Amino acid sequence: MHELSITQSLVEAVLDRIGERKVTAVNVQVGPLSGVLPDAMRFCFDVASAGTALAGAQLMIDEPPGLARCRSCHDEFGLDDLILLCPCGSADVEVLSGRELMLVSVEVA
């Protein structure tokens, strides 16, 4: 479960920036093409933040949709997984969104 190491890195990054101030919420974006499962990340956040200034904070996950554009037919279409195939049958696609895995903001008390 790589979500645990990703979440531990997230907690460490926040702690490096905020010191010992009490955190009430951490806001992140996790796209469906990032390879990270939001539910697993939520579970890991409680474990990784225990005993820190983030203990008890909410992990708010924004899940932007996956979006791609076909280089053959120029159509834009949604992506729910890593199967990069246009409805026209072409695999020559450009991913426009959905790979996000980023810390957006931190709320402190």
7 in helix, strand or coil? helix
- Between CA 39 and CA 16 the distance in angstroms is 25
Structural contact between residues 7 and 37, judged by C-beta atoms closer than 8 angstroms: no
Structural contact between residues 78 and 66, judged by C-beta atoms closer than 8 angstroms: yes
Q: For the chain, what is the domain count? A: 1
Q: Cite the annotated binding site for Ni(2+) by residue number.
A: 2
In a domain, 28, yes or no: yes
Q: Cite the annotated binding site for Zn(2+) by residue number.
A: 70, 73, 86, 88
Structural contact between residues 27 and 42, judged by C-beta atoms closer than 8 angstroms: no
Residue 102 belongs to a domain with what CATH number? 3.30.2320.50
Q: Cite the annotated binding site by residue number.
A: 2, 70, 73, 86, 88
pTM across the whole model: 0.84
Domain that holds residue 37: 2-65+98-108
Return the number of other C-beta atoms located less than 10 Å from residue 9's C-beta: 12
pLDDT of the chain along its 109 residues, tens only? 589 999 999 999 999 999 889 999 999 999 999 999 999 999 999 999 999 999 999 999 999 999 999 999 999 999 988 889 999 999 999 999 999 999 999 999 8
